[in-house]
Structure 1
Amino acid sequence: MAHPVVALIAAIAALVALPGAAHASSRTKLRAGCQAGKLYDCVELGTYWENGDRGPQSYGKALALYRQACDGGEVLGCHELARLHETGTGVPIDVARGAKLYDRACDGGYLDSCLHLARLYREGRGITKDLKRVRFILSKACKLGNGRSCCDLGLMLHKGEGGRADLAQALTVYDQGCDVQDARACLQAGIAFRDGVGVAKDLEAAKRRLDAACQYGGKRFCDVPLDQGEGGSVDTPGARRPVSERCLDGADSVACMMGTLVRYHERVPSRLEPSRAYFDKSCAEGKGFGCFKLGLLAQEAGDLKKARALYQAGCEASHPEACTNLGFMIAKGHGGEADAKAAFERFSKACLEGDPMGCLNHGVFMMLGTVSPKDPQAALLSYDKGCAGGEPMACHNAGILYRLGLGTTANPGKARELLTKACSYGYTPSCEAAKKL
């Protein structure tokens, strides 16, 4: 149910007061611009037809407009066309064709398409799975300044996916991601310096990077201890909620699992204010990152309706963190009606596109049976994916399922490994639980 960001921004323009005459234009003006060779107007007009905004709805006309823009060299048109083919929106599903279009948009510099292309090669869905190719794509996007690609590439280098493991190079690309304000990349770099992984231990260097993770990612990135394994001593405003009192040793029952939904916060909103104009421009151009940052500012300011609209715009632009926060707001009924099924769909999209917190929330829904029967096996898959991306609470929940043998064969060694990992990331309930296994 992906819809492009530009149409959403047009629908909420009065709320978010975004600049740019295009977003206040009628179909007539956009049509005239498209006919005059303004290919971005063709893309935006396509979103109007796709969503039935300000007039009739027609997937056929949307496809034709996206194709016209793409053929003319507007990479956003290629991206939107790829999305429709991948998801089967208005056309039969053709993932291979979608991949070719994502590749074209990626080559043209639309970095979100690089992430989608890497995802398809990683999953092997509709195309041959090729982790070596994933490395190449992420490396290209990382060099062009996409922080999430840097972090994902670092994780592959760390684990030896798609080639030999290279811990030193992993740290290099984590730092590159941190330099462009990707909180998760800063976190991974900080942990590498803290634990001496691929580099000599350096607590001062670790602290700089962990502080940056906290600054860029908000509260949930602010609990990571400088001393490995000493997570139990952390006591900060962003500390996680303790496990249920029914839990005896930290990992002996499902009551020990983290079962509440979580979202991204902005710990110091004032630090984003100097960049507000840049976020406005980015969001208006259909870049989900800008919409997400504006959503964080609106939410911390208490304007939940505006935040929800901005997260919606970011999510439709395939920014996974925006989908996670949108799912949280929809689940809680913040800024609009509550809808568990719609929230679950946003968490699914966020997890599919690689957001670890989205995977955590997706797993929570599957474990609790919020919108479907309880499914520990599906929950474990989500938790494992979230843990691989650096989400400590996903590691914690996965560890408990491995210990209890829910959704998988009981594996105490794997449980201890995951709980220890969660502890090293700063999730305090995992620390004592790991010691008792």
Structure 2
Amino acid sequence: MTTLLRLFLALTLTGLFTLAPASSAQSPGSDAADLPRACDIDRDAQSCLKQAIRLYEGKKLSKDDLTARRFAAKACAEGAAEGCNFLAAMLEKGIGGPADRQAAVRNYRRACSAGYANACYNLGQLFYYAAANESEVVQARALFAEACDAKIADSCNNHAVMLKFGEGGPRDLPAARALFDAACAAGSIDGCTNYGYMLMMGEAGPRDVARAATLLDAACTANAANACDNMGVMLMNGMHGPADFGKAGTLLRKACALGSHGGCFNLGQMLTKGPERIRDAGAADAAHKEACRLGHKQACTLTTTPLQPGA
């Protein structure tokens, strides 16, 4: 049976509003009612930041993104790196006012240079997903490496992805494998998914299907779509014991429901080319159509009516 083992790019947009906890010491604006005064009059950066967070979250105060952005700007101006990161995220996404990429980059850089690692990670994400030129791709790789050194597990995963695919610099599969392992050990679900794939395929090191299955199964349980896809393919191909099309189908359906176009495609392939007893032309066509809608080009050519990716 011909199947497609998905090679994936597991980069996630997380950490945009990850803020370091405020100092445990009592600031002038520790009382919620005093925060605006402490910010505006006492120029206390942490009070400005706390007020920005409360306005953005809309828990202790009515949600007000416009004013939250103003207080984030004040926190940044008064020297709070977290405030600069918060402001940059709002500028990037157009929250509380117009989007301003240039200003977002400037404020992420300010926070990153001040030692706030989440800002380095966020700027890496911005450059990776919306690079204006090749230089920004190179910078994304360096920024992910910097945030990884600061123990941000997802940044280690992202750096490893760029090493694996040779993005922003030379390709280095052994380094990518080692970094995926480290990212996984540090708590990155995507890191475990990617490390599991390399173990499953024996990329840049010994093949270890048993270890791969353990990692992929745990990541799938945590709703990592690509992990469900790869674990489904493993079971479908009998790579970890006898082929189990029932369990494989369950995992591929979960992967598809979670938005993995590979999961949808592999489900369609299994229902088309698997044992006669599990073939289902209608369900296979539906799976291929969903894979196509999610952007899988090959799946678009396999539907009963040819479609365009994303349709």
- TM bin, normalised by shorter chain, reads 0.5 to 0.7
Give distance in 2, aligned partners of 1:135 and 1:142.
10
- Aligned residues: CA RMSD: 4.2
Give the structure 1 partner of residue 251 of structure 2.
Answer: 239
TM-score under structure 1 normalisation? 0.48
Q: Are 2:299 and 1:400 equivalent residues in the alignment?
A: yes
Give the structure 2 partner of residue 100 of structure 1.
Answer: 106
Give distance in 1, aligned partners of 2:244 and 2:182.
30
Give the structure 2 partner of residue 30 of structure 1.
Answer: 35
Count of residue pairs brought into register by the alignment: 255
- Residue 70 of structure 1 deviates from its aligned partner by 1.2
Give distance in 1, aligned partners of 2:105 and 2:126.
7
- Residue 51 of structure 1 deviates from its aligned partner by 7.2
Give the structure 1 partner of residue 176 of structure 2.
Answer: 170
Contact 2:289 2:299 in 1 (8 A): no
Give the structure 2 partner of residue 201 of structure 1.
Answer: 207
Q: Deviations over 1:159-192 (max 9, x none)?
A: 2212222110110110111111112211211221
Q: Are 2:59 and 1:69 equivalent residues in the alignment?
A: no
Give distance in 1, aligned partners of 2:109 and 2:63.
31
Alignment of 1:282-361 (within 5 A): none
TM-score under structure 2 normalisation? 0.64
Secondary structure of the corresponding residue to residue 190 of structure 2: helix
Inter-CA distance 228–27: structure 2 relative to 1 (3 Å threshold): same
- Residue 398 of structure 1 deviates from its aligned partner by 5.0
Inter-CA distance 58–83: structure 2 relative to 1 (3 Å threshold): closer
Give distance in 2, aligned partners of 1:128 and 1:79.
23
Give the structure 1 partner of residue 286 of structure 2.
Answer: 255
Q: Are 2:171 and 1:160 equivalent residues in the alignment?
A: no
Contact 2:189 2:224 in 1 (8 A): no
Give the structure 1 partner of residue 258 of structure 2.
Answer: none
Give distance in 1, aligned partners of 2:289 and 2:215.
27
Inter-CA distance 168–51: structure 2 relative to 1 (3 Å threshold): closer
Which of the two has higher C-alpha Rg? 2
Give distance in 2, aligned partners of 1:195 and 1:58.
47
Secondary structure of the corresponding residue to residue 251 of structure 2: coil
Q: Are 2:61 and 1:54 equivalent residues in the alignment?
A: yes
What is the aligned counterpart of 1:141 among 133, 147, 150? 147
Give distance in 1, aligned partners of 2:286 and 2:213.
34
Give distance in 2, aligned partners of 1:62 and 1:202.
50
Inter-CA distance 45–165: structure 2 relative to 1 (3 Å threshold): same
Inter-CA distance 158–50: structure 2 relative to 1 (3 Å threshold): closer
Q: Are 2:93 and 1:87 equivalent residues in the alignment?
A: yes
Give distance in 1, aligned partners of 2:161 and 2:253.
28
Q: Percent identity?
A: 23
Inter-CA distance 104–176: structure 2 relative to 1 (3 Å threshold): farther
Q: Are 2:127 and 1:121 equivalent residues in the alignment?
A: yes
Secondary structure of the corresponding residue to residue 79 of structure 1: helix
Inter-CA distance 48–137: structure 2 relative to 1 (3 Å threshold): same
Contact 2:174 2:204 in 1 (8 A): yes
Contact 2:235 2:245 in 1 (8 A): no
Amino acid at match of 1:233: D
Contact 1:142 1:176 in 2 (8 A): no
Alignment of 1:207-226 (within 5 A): 207=213, 209-210=215-216, 213=219, 217=222, 221=227, 224=231
- Residue 150 of structure 1 deviates from its aligned partner by 1.7
Contact 1:194 1:202 in 2 (8 A): yes
Q: Are 2:75 and 1:44 equivalent residues in the alignment?
A: no
Q: Which runs of 5+ in 1 are unaligned?
A: 7-20, 260-363, 368-375, 381-396, 409-437
Give distance in 1, aligned partners of 2:57 and 2:299.
43
- Residue 137 of structure 1 deviates from its aligned partner by 0.9
Inter-CA distance 180–107: structure 2 relative to 1 (3 Å threshold): farther
Q: Deviations over 1:299-338 (max 9, x none)?
A: xxxxxxxxxxxxxxxxxxxxxxxxxxxxxxxxxxxxxxxx
Amino acid at match of 1:29: D
Q: Are 2:190 and 1:184 equivalent residues in the alignment?
A: yes
Inter-CA distance 151–109: structure 2 relative to 1 (3 Å threshold): same
Contact 2:54 2:61 in 1 (8 A): yes
Contact 1:75 1:110 in 2 (8 A): yes
Amino acid at match of 1:224: M
Give distance in 1, aligned partners of 2:216 and 2:65.
48
Inter-CA distance 212–141: structure 2 relative to 1 (3 Å threshold): farther
Secondary structure of the corresponding residue to residue 200 of structure 1: coil
